[in-house]
């Protein structure tokens, strides 16, 4: 995921440190949206008046969306096994990140979100727990759950629930990356269908990016893990990697990441590590480098600019930040606004197109993606996702 950048791993809480000062007491709270000033207010908000609303929902369950917070509230669920930059740190330690995610939902999408850190890591346990929590929420945002379990968890939850389930580490990253790639091609006068991309990282983000680039019409894409190119002749592939091997690498590449990058038009890094400058130099002239590892990009922008026409990172202190906050608030706002039962591939592509379109008339190599603080972003993504949901028949309002 590229939504939060965690750079300070100091283990001792320092009350003078601005970061610890900001986090003291947590970063969010619950507030009432109606007054309770006297007995009349109390009788409407709680007993006896609330019983009438409960009875109505019992008779017509769909009314829960009209008369509770459900229609605009998302559960942000993690088990703390793949927290950005920190890895498997457990549920308690992951909670500050989940709180951060929740306030971004509210700030950028107007969506209420509740951080839920689970003290379990088994696929069955997580699925059953979320299913039991689901009646309280209009959607589920899965966060920082390690691969390959994250794929199975998302799949099984969406099969069992009639509300959107969205693993942001996968799809949010893929949506923003695809939008940036479309605009990088446009600003350099190229066609996406003519590009060959190489993705470093075969985890949640890498797999999702590969699938979305294929849907967006990329000429070819190869995915690399620690052993090199993921291809169909490898005997060590998980089911997820075997699936992506069958869909990608039309060029039939074998060998290492360095070998795959020779002549490649696009590098997309979602794995960490370092790509040597001499390897970057073998890429095609006018290439694109999206080095998104945090806090240290796989290829430093200063090095990338020596060879690449467009450079993007996951960091806020360089141009073209690939940041998930550009996607997930608007995606959920759009899906919730029409009470969509799921988030489809078409809705994800619509989000990417809308995001790319925000800066379509302002493109430069240093601006192929909007700023997270561009106020046009969330409304554009929200509209596009809602329209796509209606077009695909998953909207219920």
Count of beta carbons in the 10 Å neighbourhood of residue 107: 14
143 is in an annotated binding site: yes
Residue (of 176, 203, 196, 187) closest to 370 by Cα position: 176
Q: Which residue(s) pair with 367 in the sheet?
A: 364
141 is in an annotated binding site: no
pLDDT of residue 366: 97
65 is in an annotated binding site: no
How would you write the pLDDT of the chain (397 residues) with one tens digit per residue?
A: 443 333 444 556 777 789 898 998 999 998 999 999 999 999 999 999 999 999 999 999 999 999 999 999 999 999 999 998 789 999 999 999 999 999 999 999 999 999 999 999 999 999 999 999 999 999 999 999 999 999 999 999 999 999 999 999 999 999 999 999 999 999 999 999 999 999 999 999 999 999 999 999 999 999 999 999 999 999 999 999 999 999 999 999 999 999 999 999 999 999 989 999 999 999 999 999 999 998 899 999 999 999 999 999 999 999 999 999 999 999 999 999 999 999 999 999 999 999 999 999 999 999 999 999 999 999 999 999 999 999 999 999 8
Domain that holds residue 83: 18-31+66-167
In a domain? residue 344: no
In a domain? residue 302: no
In a domain? residue 192: no
Residue (of 172, 145, 142, 143) closest to 157 by Cα position: 142
Rounded Cα distance, 63 and 355, in Å: 33
169 is in an annotated binding site: yes
265 is in an annotated binding site: no
The number of domains in the chain is 1
In a domain? residue 119: yes
In a domain? residue 88: yes
In a domain? residue 48: no
In a domain? residue 144: yes
Residues designated as active site:
46, 101
pLDDT tens by residue, 357-387 = 999 999 999 999 999 999 999 999 999 999 9
Tell me the CATH number at 135: 3.40.50.10380
pLDDT of residue 4: 37
In a domain? residue 73: yes
pLDDT of residue 11: 55
Rounded Cα distance, 271 and 298, in Å: 8
* 3-state DSSP percent of the chain in helix, strand and coil, to 5: 45, 15, 40
pLDDT of residue 170: 95
pLDDT tens by residue, 196-251 = 999 999 999 999 999 999 999 999 999 999 999 999 999 999 999 999 999 999 99
């Amino acid at each position: 995921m590229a939504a939060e950048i965690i750079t300070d791993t100091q283990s001792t809480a320092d009350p003078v440190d601005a970061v610890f000062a900001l986090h003291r007491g947590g970063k969010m709270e619950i507030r009432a949206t109606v007054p309770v000033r006297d007995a009349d207010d109390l009788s409407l908000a709680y007993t006896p008046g609330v019983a009438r609303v409960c009875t109505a929902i019992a008779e017509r369950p769909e009314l829960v969306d009209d008369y509770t917070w459900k229609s605009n509230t998302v559960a942000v669920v993690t088990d703390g096994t793949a927290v950005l930059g920190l890895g498997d740190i457990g549920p308690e330690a992951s909670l500050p990140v989940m709180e951060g995610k929740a306030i971004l939902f509210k700030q950028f999408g107007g969506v209420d979100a509740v951080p839920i850190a689970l003290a379990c890591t088994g696929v069955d346990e997580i699925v059953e727990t979320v299913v039991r929590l689901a009646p309280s929420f209009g959607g589920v945002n899965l966060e920082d759950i390690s691969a390959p379990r994250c794929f199975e968890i998302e799949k099984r939850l969406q099969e069992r629930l009639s509300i959107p389930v969205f693993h942001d580490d996968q799809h949010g990253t893929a949506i923003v990356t695809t939008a940036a790639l479309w605009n990088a091609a446009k600003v350099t006068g190229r066609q996406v269908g003519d590009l060959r991309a190489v993705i470093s990282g075969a985890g949640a983000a890498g797999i999702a990016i590969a699938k979305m680039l294929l849907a967006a019409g990329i000429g070819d894409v190869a995915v690399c893990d620690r052993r090199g190119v993921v291809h169909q002749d490898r005997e060590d592939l998980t089911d997820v990697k075997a699936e992506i091997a069958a869909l990608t690498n039309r060029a039939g590449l074998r060998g290492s990441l360095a070998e795959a990058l020779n002549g490649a038009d696009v590098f997309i890094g979602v794995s960490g590590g370092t790509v040597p400058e001499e390897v970057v130099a073998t890429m095609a002239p006018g290439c694109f480098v999206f080095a998104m590892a945090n806090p240290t990009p796989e290829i430093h922008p200063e090095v990338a600019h020596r060879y690449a026409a467009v450079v993007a990172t996951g960091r806020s202190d360089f141009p073209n930040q690939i940041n998930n906050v550009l996607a997930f608030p608007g995606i959920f706002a759009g899906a919730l606004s029409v009470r969509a039962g799921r988030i489809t591939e078409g809705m994800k592509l619509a989000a990417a197109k809308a995001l790319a379109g925000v800066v379509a008339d302002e493109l430069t190599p240093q601006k192929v993606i909007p700023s997270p603080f561009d106020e046009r972003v969330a409304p554009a993504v929200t509209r596009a996702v809602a329209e796509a949901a209606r077009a695909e028949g998953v909207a219920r309002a």
